[in-house]
Amino acid sequence: GAVVSQHPSRVICKSGTSVKIECRSLDFQATTMFWYRQFPKKSLMLMATSNEGSKATYEQGVEKDKFLINHASLTLSTLTVTSAHPEDSSFYICSASPPGQGWEKLFFGSGTQLSVL
Amino acid sequence: AQSVAQPEDQVNVAEGNPLTVKCTYSVSGNPYLFWYVQYPNRGLQFLLKYITGDNLVKGSYGFEAEFNKSQTSFHLKKPSALVSDSALYFCAVRDNNQGGKLIFGQGTELSVKP
């Protein structure tokens, strides 16, 4: 099946620094990727929809200047957490769907555990 | 608004016994329903989906789910649980009013003991 790769799997950073998380679709082109945030043993919250070649669409309540999304190619989307604070500590997961499958079958990255000290 | 609910935070089952993880939904129009599984510190894996057709949907790893329109439920089932089935399970519904994005339930932690 389709593979979505996410890197890094774990990152620890100091408060005030920025962290970049990469999401790659390895064997298909993804014009759209999705970024989720998950708190421990909680549901996934959709943060934004990343669109190749255009601006991301953010969900209500998500700060676009805080969580910068860039989708520069058909296989790569990045999420940058700017000026990270301890409350940004969370598990971030990206997902994508092969062309033509829409929302019917999302493939997820393995997630990035962000810890802000 | 479209939503799903998973009424149980945790389900405990003995290995070899049947398991059920519950999910109810609230949608306008025809529901598109999904089940995903998440192992510790991993992303989600697709198990199965209901779009249309037979109410009993068969998926990966021996799981199946039954769509029940009158009860607005989509419970996940497996006839004989394995210890390796222990994981976090999410039910999801497609939100047809917001571009088709998936709305996830709060998750149910399944624990299968030997």
Residue A104: pLDDT band (50, 70, 90) is low
pLDDT at B1 over 80: no
Among the partner-chain residues B45, B49, B106, the one whose CB lies closest to the CB of A104 is: B49
* Amino acid A43: pLDDT: 82
Buried b / exposed e along B34-71 (16+ C-beta atoms within 10 A): bbbbbeeebbbbbbbbbeeeeeebebeeebbbbbeeee
Q: What is the pLDDT of residues B42-82, one digit of tens each?
A: 778 989 999 888 999 999 999 999 999 999 999 999 999 99
pLDDT in tens, A9-44: 999 999 999 999 999 999 899 888 999 998 876 788
How many other CB atoms are found less than 10 A from the CB of residue B25? 21
Three-state SS for B62? helix
Q: Which two tokens stand for residue B14?
A: 């003995």
Q: How far apart are CA B91 and CA B106, in angstroms?
A: 8
> Percent of chain A beyond pLDDT 70?
95
- Asked if A15 contacts A117 with a C-beta cutoff of 8 angstroms, the reply is yes
A111 vs B41, B49, B105: nearest CB: B41
Q: Do B32 and A104 touch (CB under 8 A)?
A: yes
